[in-house]
Structure 1
Amino acid sequence: MHDQNEYLYFLRRAFDGMLGVLEELGDDLGNTRPPLPGANSVYAITYHCAAVADYWTGHVVAGREVDRDRAAEFTATGRASDLRRQVDALYEQLAADLAPVTPASMPRNTPPADFEGPDRPLSVAGVQLHVLEELAQHHGQIQITRDLLKQGASS
């Protein structure tokens, strides 16, 4: 059995970083969109990242049914404490999803052709890299969003 602990460690770091910013901002500011065209709230971005990890790991890699409404992810609002509980439960689910995965494993499902993601077939390792890619870029986006919101709140 292939050990997924190192991969899960980096997922946890990214999620904890995003949730930490959300908790630092508080629920009001965490659900506020910065005044930029197409900008999203820290809550919505974090919520989107949870859905990304759930879909790509749970559905694509593990074959689990995942009900995902991608467009709704960007308008999601809520409390940081509730989202942390959801991410904690998701993290446990992802660990279970990845427990039987080996380097030779192939994804159990293929995303639809029009799905936003890599434009080539992916191995399990490729799917995992894509999830890390998404979480890393959105973690940085959240940090910049925090800075914009805090600047706006203090001016």
Structure 2
Amino acid sequence: MATDRILLEFTLAKFDELFALIAEMDDEQANRRPELKGANSLYCLGNHTLGMMRFWSCTTNRGVEVTRDRDAEFDASGSVAELLERAAVERHRFETDVCSVDDHAVPANKPKDRDEPWLVSCHGVLLHVFEEICQHLGQAEVTRDLLAANR
């Protein structure tokens, strides 16, 4: 099974950056939302990232159904310590999922409501996960800055 180790390492590096940023916060800071309509807390961004990664790497690429409530990911709150523990577990699961499929294979369970060009291969799905993590890391950096400015 071929795995693009470079893309996997980039993805895990951005994942680590996101959760290192969250680790710098206390529970109140991590659960606070900036005063902008529709803004998410850092906890929500981390929680959503965990659900997103698992959905694409396990449910989509491997065909192993993982229960997920995407909308609830953005309503969640909790402790930073708990989120970081879950992140460590999900990071390992993600790496296992990625290494268990052939990059060139067609995803085992493509979403029926999506017709994206990157859904042609497991590698394309991993590129999408990388894109999403980078996006959420950027959101988290802006959220951190907004919260610091509004103290």
TM-score where L is the length of structure 2: 0.91
Percent of aligned positions with the same letter in both sequences?
35
Out of 15-24 and 122-131, give the one that drifted further: 15-24
- Aligned-pair RMSD on alpha carbons? 1.6
Number of residue pairs matched? Answer: 150
Residues 32 and 42, structure 1, Cα contact 8 Å, conserved in 2: yes
Residues 43 and 77, structure 1, Cα contact 8 Å, conserved in 2: yes
1:29 aligns with 2:32: no
1 CA distance for matches of 2:23 and 2:100?
Answer: 34
1:152 aligns with 2:150: yes
2 CA distance for matches of 1:10 and 1:58?
Answer: 19
Displacement of 1:119 in angstroms is: 3.6
Displacement of 1:46 in angstroms is: 1.0
1 CA distance for matches of 2:92 and 2:4?
Answer: 12
* Unmatched tracts of structure 2, length 5 or more: none
Residues 119/98 of structure 1: CA separation in 2 closer, same or farther (3 Å cut): closer
Q: Which residue of structure 2 lines up, in the alignment, with residue 125 of structure 1?
A: 123
Out of 31-40 and 85-94, give the one that drifted further: 85-94
2 CA distance for matches of 1:5 and 1:121?
Answer: 18
Q: Which residue of structure 2 lines up, in the alignment, with residue 19 of structure 1?
A: 19
Q: Deviations over 1:90-121 (max 9, x none)?
A: 111122212232232110001131x6xx6446
Q: Deviations over 1:40-98 (max 9, x none)?
A: 00110111011110001111001111101000000111111111111111111122212
Residue type matched to 2:122 in 1?
V
Residue type matched to 2:75 in 1?
T
Residues 2 and 101, structure 2, Cα contact 8 Å, conserved in 1: yes
Q: Which residue of structure 1 lines up, in the alignment, with residue 141 of structure 2?
A: 143
2 CA distance for matches of 1:34 and 1:48?
Answer: 17
* Unmatched tracts of structure 1, length 5 or more: none
1 CA distance for matches of 2:118 and 2:9?
Answer: 25
Residues 19 and 80, structure 1, Cα contact 8 Å, conserved in 2: no
